[in-house]
Structure formats: C-alpha cells, structure tokens
A and B are shown apart, each in its own frame.
Chain A
Amino acid sequence: MATADLSPRRAVAAWRVYQDTLGGRVLSFLQVLRELGAFAMITLVVTLTKFNKSKRVVHPLIVTHIWRAGIMLLPMVSFMGVALGLVIIGQTVALLTRVGAQDYIGTVMVTVVVRELGPLLAAFLVLARSGTSNVVELGTARALGEVEALESLGIDPIHYLVMPRVIGLSLAVFCLTTYMVLIGIASGYLFAFMQDVPLTLGAYLSQLIEALRWQDFALLMVKTTMFGCVIAVVNCYHGLARPLNIEDVSQVTTRAVVESVIGVVLIDAVFLVGYFFA
C-alpha cells in the first residue's frame, strides 16, 4: 500500500523538496520583481532625460505605437463597450426594478463600468493585441542581434525601443478606457430603454452625475496610465532584458502576458483600496 511506503524519513525528505521548490519559486519571483523594478526605473530616467533627444526619429515611433495600441483597437473596444453596457444593465436592471431600486442603475454603471470593468477590459485588450506583439517583436530583435546593432550605432535601445512603447501603451489604455466607458454607458441606457425600464435619459444621466466624483476621473486617469506602463514595461523587459534564441520567444511571450495580468490586477487591487479612502 502507498501510505505504508511513506516512512517518516521519506515524508521529511518530500517536505524538504517541497520547501526548496516553493522557496526557489519565491526567490525567483522576487528576483524578477527586482529586475522589473530596475528596468522600469531605467526607462523612467531615459524618458525624463531623453524625451526630446533625436525627436525626429523617436517621436514618430511614439505616434506609431499610439496608433497600433490605440486607434487600431477602436473597433474591438467599441464592440466590447457595447457588450459591457448591455451585460451590466441586462444583469442588473431586472433585479433593481424588482426591488424598486432602478434609481441605482447609474450608480451601478459608475461603480462597475467606470471604476472597474472598463479599465480592466481595456488593459487586457491592449495586452492581448499590442502587448504580445511587442514581446514577439522585441524578443525576435534581441535574438537576431538587432539590439546590439542599435548599440553599435550609438542608439540607446531603451530610448529607441522601450520609451515609445511605454508612452504609446499608457496613452492608449487611458484613451481606450475613456472611450469604452462612454460607449458602455450609452449602450447600458439603450438596453434599459429597450427593456421598457421606467427611466428617462435625463434621469439616467442625473444618476450618473450624482454617482461620479472628481476622484473617479483622477483615479481613472492614473490607474489606466499605470496599467499601460506595467504592460509595456513587463513586455519590453521580457523581450529585451536577456539574451534570447528564436525558440525562446514564444516562452517569454507567455511569461510576459501572465506577469502583465498579475501586475494589472495588483494595481487594480491597490486602487480599490484607494477608492474606499478617497
């Protein structure tokens, strides 16, 4: 029988192996966190000190990344915004009407769409489309030696490759979130209207205005910008930080996506606490 074979000595050995593995994972996680932090600081310093350096080369790259991460995603974000508004109102309107609380539809939209789902969905869409492609592009460039080629030309790879992506993705997530929230709010009312909910547009907008606070705008801007920064920094780090072979690119892409999701959710949790104190 299996349990009879598990003598105390073996149990202790198995526990030690488990501890070593867990400890190794924790240390590895802390190491990655440290390296990501250092990479983020370097990127920040380069952005602050070299933003206007060689701007006719670098500023068009920023525009390119805003286009790729932002404008190109508008159709998808529109679709998700409509779906978001329909889903939220569809799920809540019947319940609220049943308990005579249709006056809280606007509050629900603000709490769910403006503060939480809108920013998260926009961030994940940008990650799925632009974040992954950034890791693949940069990882491939690293594997092919293009980063060394840039260095040999006296071009700072952080200035040329990372800074435009960080600025582009940060602005894109912020703008797409704002766009998605507006679309979601509009589609939410449309669904309520189609469901014959006794709620005029004026009343709906009044509810929204009453539920919104100035802190919502400030925190939305800061949160979404941070989402974009985290996605860009994590993806650029995994694409560039270590020597890569072509066959490693898919693996680092997966790792970058997972770490980006974790980073975004952790930031969201921090802001959730902030909403309570704001």
Chain B
Amino acid sequence: MSPEVLIELQKIDVMREDGPATIVRDVSWTISRGEFWVICGPPSGGKSSLLATAVGLSRPSGESLRIFGRNLAEATEAEQVDWRRRIGFVFENGGRLLSHLTVAQNVALPLEYHSAMSEAELDAKVEEVLRRAELVAQAHTMPSRLNLRVQQRAGLMRALIVPTEVLVLDNPLNGLSPRDARWWLDYLRELQVQQAGNGKPLTFIVTSDDFRDWLDLADRFALIRNNELHMLGNREQLLANKDAGVLEFL
C-alpha cells in the first residue's frame, strides 16, 4: 500500500514574497507520509519560498497545490487553520519567535490558542517540552536577549507542541556550532523513530546548504538549480550522482 500523499504540487510557480518574480518555476512535487526530504540550493535560490509555498503560507501560481488532499484554491479558512496546526514550521535564523513574548510564552502560544487545556496542564506541557530542549533556564527570557541557538530550539519546540504530521525546517543548522548541529540531528532522529514506533510516522521537509549533514536521516533529496527543482532520488541515487552541480552540495 503506497503511503498517503500529504502535499502535492502540480506545475506550481514559486513567487518572491516582495514581488511578482518567479523564483522556482514549474514545480511538480509529491510529499508522502513518513518521507524525509532535504532540499539544497544556492543562497537566495528560493528554498525558503518553496517551503512557504508548499505548505500554503505563500500564494502560488500554477496548476494546483493540494494539502492533505484538499486543493488550496478551494480550501476554506477553517481547513487552512487545520493544516497549519498539523504542519509545524521552523523558520530560518532564530525561528521567528514573537518578540513581545518570553520563550515559554512563545512555545505555549499555539497550544494555548487552539486547545482548551487548563492552565496547569498547559504549564506542565510547556515545562516538559522546554526540558527536552534544555531550555528551562531560558523560559522567562525575551527572545531578543537570547542567541540564535536558543531561539532556533524554541522555534522547534513551538512547532512541535501541537501534534504535528509534517515538520518543515528551513535551514535549521545554519549558523550553529557542530555540537548544536549534532543536538538537532540526534533530536530529529529520536523524533523520527518515536513517531514511527507510534504508528504515526512524521514527515520531514528540510532545506539545507549541504546534503552531507542529512545523509543518515533523509531518504529523499532534491536540488534547486537554475530556478527549477530537480529530484535526485534516494540516498544511493544521490551518492551515485556525478553531476558537478550536485557534488557542490556533497
């Protein structure tokens, strides 16, 4: 039985946020449950815009974008809110925490907004999540006073505090030390195994500047080159690829 298709792009043009220019054209991409995708590409090549478009945060132009089986153009607001709850998005360079909330408040926000949990349950859940991320000491600190490493982890915890089916990570290892990058990879591996064990495999979509960091985790690879998204297949196919443009990211 083939895995369930969660996100499907058919001949979609990815637009820049600040104008009508097409940054990645004619994208046809199917993301199924349990897959671990890594997308590489040059700086300002459209990786972040592609992620935002794929999960419906940016309006695409093109044939169709289906998320959880529903066409974006026909989806109601309630359906789109439901998608956003099921898709955890961690932005690049600090996770875009809300600057007027503390770390704990940022992490709690999606759960507090969408659920009817009591205050005590909410506090307990946030504390548990912060403990896993080793952020308990920074719980009551404002994001502006924290370094990138802490902000990025808080962004990850904010994305995961609500039950998630798709985790989207925009260049999560960018600017991190090798030790912190190792923390991330170990955490994601643990998450992957845990969710698979629960019978609810988590789907990952990651952008990166380097395929090598993800070879042990990911099973699907793609490259943005010359404003197009090229599918590179699985790990074996990626490693067998001798194209200079691909080797640049290996």
Contacts and interface: CB of A to CB of B under 8 A. Distances in A.
Contacts of A153: 84, 109-110, 113, 158
B240 to A, nearest CB: 36
Contacts of A155: 109-110, 113
Interface string A118-155: 00000000000000000001001100111011111111
Interface in B79-112: 80-85, 87, 89, 91, 95-100, 109-110, 112
B106 to A, nearest CB: 9
Given A149-B91, A153-B158, A144 B99 contact: yes
B109 A145 contact: no
B57 A152 contact: yes
Give the interface size bracket for B toward A. Answer: 20 to 34
B58 to A, nearest CB: 9
A57 interface: yes
B91 A140 contact: no
Contacts of B89: 149, 152
Contacts of A151: 57, 84
Interface in B29-82: 52, 55, 57, 80-82
18 contacts: A54-B113, A57-B113, A144-B96, A145-B91, A146-B96, A146-B98, A148-B52, A148-B57, A149-B95, A149-B96, A151-B84, A153-B109, A153-B158, A154-B81, A154-B83, A154-B114, A155-B110, A155-B113
A148 B112 contact: no
A56 interface: yes
A141 B114 contact: no
A197 to B, nearest CB: 51
Interface in B110-131: 110, 112-114
Contacts of B18: 243
Interface string A56-67: 110000000000
Nearest to A149: B96
A141 B84 contact: no
Interface residues of A, number: 20
Nearest to A159: B113
B4 interface: no
Contacts of B114: 54, 154
B112 A152 contact: no
Contacts of B97: 146, 149
Nearest to A148: B57
B102 to A, nearest CB: 14
A56 B52 CA distance: 29
Contacts of B180: none
Contacts of A150: 98
B134 interface: no
B140 to A, nearest CB: 17
Contacts of A160: 113
A135 to B, nearest CB: 15
A54 B109 CA distance: 11
Contacts of B96: 144-146, 148-149
A130 B24 CA distance: 42
B93 to A, nearest CB: 9
Contacts of A144: 96, 99
